[in-house]
Structure 1
């Protein structure tokens, strides 16, 4: 029987010592029965290591068969978007009801629940982005809702000049003000860093806001004007590939290393003129990368310019269509649904056999001969979430 349900696969670190079956909460507030088609299981072990690949088959929407179309992770949270435009978030005991006798916060996700603040007849989510302490949803009409907060290096929380933490899911315009209803230059794409957001408008302009202490906003933000950075500001008109921010280990790929680049800098090596007419169609935003070879000294063996990544023979003729960059590791998804990983993942984020903690070249995590095809991956804090699809030729 062919599966009509999308599956979420998680590779993550869970600091617990027992098997834990998570509840799925229906929109009416009641837990689904154990034999429901929607199941979520989180597995952990006593050695504080990742459990490898696990599947969470679930339908977060209000109707059976309304499958997941997008998964997004940020910090400790995971957000799911289904075909009905509903956004579902993992809920944690520390955020709901905590046992008074328990002095340790429980970071395990107990269940997934639809975010009611995003259920609006005039707003339908089409894309998601997340950071360490915030979430964002882009509507079908180009409007943007954001919630949470940005935290600087000292732990100070700021959402805007007068709001520390935005608890409600509020409209934010790229014109520089938060409004009750959207007044905006329509946005076509969003992406989130740890504590900042970047938006591309339909006019091909890039806007950024949040915390920019390392130049990640692409703006020169002086200390006395830090609050101004919390308002969306234009970075540069879109064109070729540009990069900015911290560059201590050459992660920007501009051909040199320095502490940081505060203004957008073009990457000539990724210009269509230098790529035989090909154009870059997707970029990943890592927290920070470092060399994996040699002594492993921070930045000692860094690559200062973009280079082609050698792919394994198993994906020859199967092009990469999606990428995701974690703090020290990368994930790639091919057209045929193969998942590759490489880099350093000390908590099992790579998802490799034997809990391998590093790989200097891409390794196959999910094979094209398997029962599942990978469509998308997203990294969080010490975990990776993937959207898997049952292969049509698999009848099991």
Structure 2
């Protein structure tokens, strides 16, 4: 990785304000003008193909769970199979991939059809839901529940096909991504289409410069080509191309675009632009902070860092409220660790290594990091009353009793809760519990340490994928048909958790 920016004065050590940055050997204009001559570093993705049953849980008052319009489905305390996504409902196919935004979900089936559900205020569902009939609560009905609201919007709460997706000759959808207010698809030829809008601290920001405030149907992002990966934040997006160059667009008020956005040019941030990263092989994003891994296994971070969610402190080893990392900066604590996946919420982050270990860091007060209080590292920051506030140092998580080294194959986060999926397909959850998003049932307090989800619906399932939004969660898995094997697996983890 080489920073594509003008050289800055340094002290000869390669450090600026105590933070190491790579020296710039080339200018951005040189790279872009020589783009066609740059080698391809990254392969185009093939997309997922394994058929999955989909489970949902949490609070779905904004139609996030996709369980239909009945008011009784607004709160689901443990994973529940979504009946609308069965092979019968989808036309003899199943979901193979999904992406969770703040309050909506995109799901791709085995025939390359895209389904959506959730709130559609910003047009993120890619279909017209304005004609839906909402059934309000009958206040005089004796059999009504105590729920103060009526039923949900039937169109938004029921998974349906995204409309007007282009048929790209010789290409198919290989990745989907969702922010709070935008939906994006990546085709196998590197084309990107998006719809919805971006928001900022002051409200609506827009979709594309001054011309489009809200895009209701999929539109090709012409500034992008040969894209191999997308990463979605709360209201920004990253894209990585085959040459190893990273682009960013959307809201940049917390420097999540990797560059300073002047107020008078704020709408220009709605166009994808490179910002000084190349030789990159992988990108990831939380709500307001981002990560990139280069082909030398060096990890870089930028954006909001007041809880150490970027795994970096200042020159004095301290954290400050509102702390920002304004440009991609090397993170020694994450580099050369064989990290294969990074996920992040609002103020916390997780990393999965090739060996199946999980490291966690960031905000602590809602138990986002999954580290018990008596196991917190010395580097933990505390408030004036001595209460733990954040863990800026990546710390290895312990699953079960700790007697067995449990290996993980997938990780996921919501805004303030997290998950880890074991190689055997069980899910451990932790974090903010008021909305039932961890999937552990009704709890009196947040979940301090990784706790295994045990429920009837998923007990015989090998969970493969997991993701989460603001107050809800989604997983996908395959059923273990061999009952003896399923029973043996359950017995194994009962021993692990003792």
TM-score category, normalised to shorter length: 0.7 to 0.9
Distance 1:208 1:167 in 2: 21
1:334 corresponds in structure 2 to 422
In the TM superposition, residue 366 of structure 1 has moved relative to its aligned partner by 4.7
Distance 1:199 1:372 in 2: 33
1:244 corresponds in structure 2 to 302
In the TM superposition, residue 100 of structure 1 has moved relative to its aligned partner by 8.2
**1:209 equivalenced with 2:256 (yes/no):** no
Query: When the two structures are aligned, how many residues end up with a matched partner?
Result: 356
Please give the residue correspondences for 1:1-396 in structure 2 after superposition, counting only pairs within 5 Å.
6-15=52-61, 22=68, 43-44=72-73, 50-57=76-83, 58-59=85-86, 64-90=91-117, 95-98=129-132, 106=152, 109-122=156-169, 123-161=171-209, 162-173=211-222, 176=223, 184-235=224-275, 236-237=277-278, 238=280, 239=294, 240-256=298-314, 257-258=319-320, 259-272=323-336, 275=337, 279-289=338-348, 290-292=363-365, 300-313=388-401, 316-355=404-443, 357-366=445-454, 370-394=459-483
Distance 2:264 2:347 in 1: 27
Q: Which secondary structure state, in structure 1, belongs to the residue aligned with residue 391 of structure 2?
A: coil
In the TM superposition, residue 367 of structure 1 has moved relative to its aligned partner by 8.2
Q: Which string of whole-angstrom CA distances, capped at 9 and with x for unpartnered residues, describes residues 75-98 of structure 1?
A: 221111112211101266983335
Unmatched runs of 5 consecutive residues or more in structure 2: 1-49, 122-128, 137-148, 281-293, 349-362, 368-372, 374-380, 487-498
Distance 1:65 1:186 in 2: 32
Contact preservation (8 Å) 1:373, 1:391: yes
Contact preservation (8 Å) 2:416, 2:432: yes
Distance 2:403 2:481 in 1: 20
In the TM superposition, residue 233 of structure 1 has moved relative to its aligned partner by 1.2
In the TM superposition, residue 139 of structure 1 has moved relative to its aligned partner by 0.7
Contact preservation (8 Å) 1:208, 1:217: yes
Contact preservation (8 Å) 1:138, 1:190: yes
Contact preservation (8 Å) 2:311, 2:331: yes
Contact preservation (8 Å) 2:415, 2:469: no
Distance 2:310 2:103 in 1: 26
Distance 1:125 1:340 in 2: 30
Say if 1:43 and 1:376 are closer, same or farther in 2 by CA, change over 3 A: farther
Say if 1:224 and 1:331 are closer, same or farther in 2 by CA, change over 3 A: same
Distance 2:234 2:72 in 1: 26
> CA RMSD of the aligned region, Å?
3.3
Say if 1:327 and 1:21 are closer, same or farther in 2 by CA, change over 3 A: closer
Q: Which secondary structure state, in structure 1, belongs to the residue aligned with residue 68 of structure 2?
A: strand
In the TM superposition, residue 307 of structure 1 has moved relative to its aligned partner by 1.5
Contact preservation (8 Å) 1:253, 1:267: yes
Q: Which string of whole-angstrom CA distances, capped at 9 and with x for unpartnered residues, describes residues 254-283 of structure 1?
A: 1342421110111111121xx4xxx11101
Distance 1:44 1:243 in 2: 39
TM normalised by structure 1 equals 0.80
If asked which structure has higher relative contact order (CA below 8 Å, sep 6+), I would say 1
Contact preservation (8 Å) 1:244, 1:252: yes
Q: Which string of whole-angstrom CA distances, capped at 9 and with x for unpartnered residues, describes residues 305-353 of structure 1?
A: 2111122248945421211122111111122111111121320111114
Distance 1:315 1:209 in 2: 45
Larger radius of gyration: 2
Contact preservation (8 Å) 1:284, 1:325: yes
Contact preservation (8 Å) 1:11, 1:54: yes
Distance 2:153 2:216 in 1: 20
Distance 1:93 1:138 in 2: 21
In the TM superposition, residue 113 of structure 1 has moved relative to its aligned partner by 1.1
Distance 2:166 2:244 in 1: 29
In the TM superposition, residue 388 of structure 1 has moved relative to its aligned partner by 2.0
Distance 1:12 1:367 in 2: 14
Unmatched runs of 5 consecutive residues or more in structure 1: 24-40, 177-183
Say if 1:63 and 1:165 are closer, same or farther in 2 by CA, change over 3 A: closer
In the TM superposition, residue 159 of structure 1 has moved relative to its aligned partner by 0.6
More displaced 10-residue stretch of structure 1: 314-323 or 64-73: 314-323
